[in-house]
Amino acid sequence: MPATTTGGADDALSRLVREALDRPGVTFRRLTESTVDPATGYRPGTTWLHKLVRNEVVRAPEPQVLRALAAGLGLPLLRVQQAAAAQYLDYVTTELTGLPADARAIVAHLAELDPADLPKVRAVIEAFVAGRSAPRGPGEG
């Protein structure tokens, strides 16, 4: 199925659907049949899905549509939401995999800080790391 655009974040959600359709055994009909929001039973229309594949959908899909797409594509909802954010809001996220919950919470709080305060936070972290790697004297734990 030809697409109007390719590559880049500008068509990230459309690209997810095109990539799914390129997998062996996946047909447009099977995809539309499995694209159902598990929470509400909502099904996007076939015409809307065709437009999405061709990158012709101009408004960001609603949450039930994203849930339906995640189910139909067999992808985590977060991945579909990230693709929609990239395509419709020009918002690209960075995944912090492998970090413990405390570290992710710290990073989330950093986003709320005034940019002028970030050098101070970095200095505190660097001092803490340097102190941990410094040789310890007798009696220091």
pLDDT digits (tens, 9 = 90+) for 93-109: 766 677 777 777 777 67
Q: For residue 34, tell me if it sits in a domain.
A: yes
109 and 71 within one domain:
no
Number of domains in the chain: 2
Check whether residue 81 and residue 40 sit in a common domain. yes
Contacting residues for 37 by C-beta, under 8 A, at least 6 apart: 43, 64, 65, 67, 68, 71
Tokens of 61: 């899909």
The pTM score is: 0.65
Structure tokens belonging to residue 88: 């419709």
Does the pLDDT at position 75 exceed 90? yes
pLDDT in tens, 1-29: 333 333 446 899 999 999 999 999 999 99
Q: Any idea what the CATH number is for the domain that residue 76 is in? A: 1.10.260
Alpha helices in 45-133 (DSSP H): 46-53, 63-73, 77-89, 101-110, 118-133
Domain with 18, as residue range(s), is 9-89
Residues 59 and 115 in one domain: no
Helix (H) or strand (E) holding 111: none
Q: What is the pLDDT of residues 77-89, one digit of tens each?
A: 989 999 999 999 9
pLDDT for res 140? 60
Mean pLDDT of the chain: 85
Q: Could you give the CA distance from residue 27 to residue 32 in angstroms, rounded to a whole number? A: 9
Q: Is the pLDDT of residue 31 over 80?
A: yes
Give the contacts of 28 (CB within 8 A, at least 6 positions apart). 1, 21, 49, 50, 53
Query: Domain end: 69, 89, 109, which one?
Result: 89
